């Protein structure tokens, strides 16, 4: 339903051209819940913004194709984007209080979002997101709401036009774990009920495990691994995914391991695999561009040691 093919984004700035996203391809089929996972600076939020046409300006170069069913979202113009925003596709931003306009009441803001729905829908929507006193919330200004409440309002605003696709960018990270879980439960329930699709952008593997069916792992502007959530989390093959999983603290009390090094300079990224400078298994073959290789049905990883019968790679995957 959503198809992103060979997306590349670069910024021109003081130090030259920064190639922050390179040849990213992903898709979200109808009714699917897909995660785009990665750490800060990997480009995942940027990818979402491209879908909605939020990345513009003289200093950005965008290449590639983005299709929402039959509609082309890239290349496209503001007219196309404004038609789909809120309607066929909606975005939920990270910080609920920052995403709401402080000078308008919730009622005003929700009314501004509804395009085809009757106004009575708004109250119902708030009830669907477990807001017990919708009238009070409707009359309130954003600063009068708690974080959890504001997040639920955002979810209601996203769902109100029953869009086909919802993109949630680090939803509710600003909130407590329990409140976050509640908000996401509501969101996923509503999405499943409508038959919509979800693209969940997050660095939180716990959320991904719980709410999504398929996932993409992004590092330094590349997709490095993809597959079903079970496949990737249960049997990660890309060294970055493995390192990220090893870094999650567990209740056994062992100190988790970090990853040496840091993100590459996007002005001068490594020629081949972008993770190679930090990879404990780096080899000569890693210096040229590496394609996604098949691990298993539906499971791919961008690593030279995947899918080959090289003895080194066998040892590596033990």
- The angle that helices 177-194 and 147-159 make with each other, rounded to 10 degrees, is 10
* Beta carbons within 8 Å of 7's beta carbon, 6+ residues apart: 21, 23, 24, 25, 47, 50, 62, 63, 64, 65, 66, 74
Closer to another protein by Cβ: residue 160 or 200: 200
DSSP state of 130: T
Q: How far is the CB of 138 from another protein (least distance, A)?
A: 25
**The token pair that represents 112 in the structure block:** 């501004």
Q: How far is the CB of 163 from another protein (least distance, A)?
A: 28
Q: How far is the CB of 209 from another protein (least distance, A)?
A: 6
Check the CA dihedral 49-226-38-262 and report its sign.
Answer: negative
Closer to another protein by Cβ: residue 5 or 209: 209
Q: How far is the CB of 85 from another protein (least distance, A)?
A: 27
Q: How far is the CB of 111 from another protein (least distance, A)?
A: 28
Closer to another protein by Cβ: residue 275 or 305: 275
Mark 191-224 as b/e (b = at least 16 C-beta within 10 Å). beeeebbbbbbbebbebbeebbebbbbbbbbbbb
Bridge-partner residues for 16, per DSSP? Answer: 13
Q: Which residues form the interface with another protein (CB under 8 A)? A: 14, 39-41, 175-178, 181, 203, 205-207, 209-210, 233-234, 243-245, 247-259, 262-263
Closer to another protein by Cβ: residue 259 or 282: 259
Q: How far is the CB of 62 from another protein (least distance, A)?
A: 20
Q: How far is the CB of 10 from another protein (least distance, A)?
A: 18
Distances (CA, A) of 229 to 37, 180, 216, 226, 298: 11, 20, 9, 8, 11
Closer to another protein by Cβ: residue 149 or 207: 207
H or E segment to which residue 24 belongs: strand 16-28
Closer to another protein by Cβ: residue 16 or 271: 16
Q: Residue 48: how many CB atoms within 10 A of its CB? A: 20
Closer to another protein by Cβ: residue 250 or 297: 250
């Amino acid at each position: 339903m959503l198809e992103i093919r060979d997306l590349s984004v670069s910024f021109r700035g003081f130090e030259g051209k920064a190639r922050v996203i390179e040849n990213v391809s992903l898709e979200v089929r109808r009714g699917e819940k897909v995660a785009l996972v990665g750490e800060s600076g990997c480009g995942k939020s940027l990818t979402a913004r491209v879908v909605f046409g939020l990345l513009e300006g003289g200093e950005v170069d965008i290449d590639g194709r983005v299709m929402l069913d039959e509609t082309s979202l890239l290349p496209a113009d503001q007219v196309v984007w404004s038609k789909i925003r809120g309607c066929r596709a909606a975005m939920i931003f990270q910080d609920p209080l920052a995403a709401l306009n402080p000078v308008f009441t919730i009622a005003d803001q929700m009314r501004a979002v509804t395009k085809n729905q009757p106004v009575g829908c708004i109250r119902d929507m708030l009830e669907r997101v477990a807001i017990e006193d919708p009238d009070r919330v409707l009359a309130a200004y954003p600063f009068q709401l708690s974080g959890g409440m504001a997040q639920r309002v955002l979810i209601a605003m996203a769902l109100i036009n029953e869009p086909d696709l919802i993109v949630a960018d680090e939803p509710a990270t600003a909130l407590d774990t329990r409140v976050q879980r509640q908000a996401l439960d509501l969101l996923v329930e509503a999405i499943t009920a409508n038959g919509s699709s979800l693209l969940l952008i997050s660095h939180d593997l716990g959320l991904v495990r719980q709410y999504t069916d398929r996932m993409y792992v992004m590092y330094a502007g590349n997709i490095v691994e993809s597959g079903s959530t079970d496949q990737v989390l249960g049997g990660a093959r890309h060294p970055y995914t493995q390192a990220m999983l090893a870094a999650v603290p567990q209740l056994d009390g062992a100190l988790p391991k970090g990853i040496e090094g840091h993100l590459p300079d996007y002005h001068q990224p490594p020629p081949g695999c972008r993770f190679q400078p930090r990879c404990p298994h780096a080899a000569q073959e890693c210096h040229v561009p590496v394609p996604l290789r098949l691990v298993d049905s539906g499971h791919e990883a961008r690593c030279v040691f995947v899918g080959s019968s090289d003895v080194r790679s066998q040892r590596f995957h033990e």
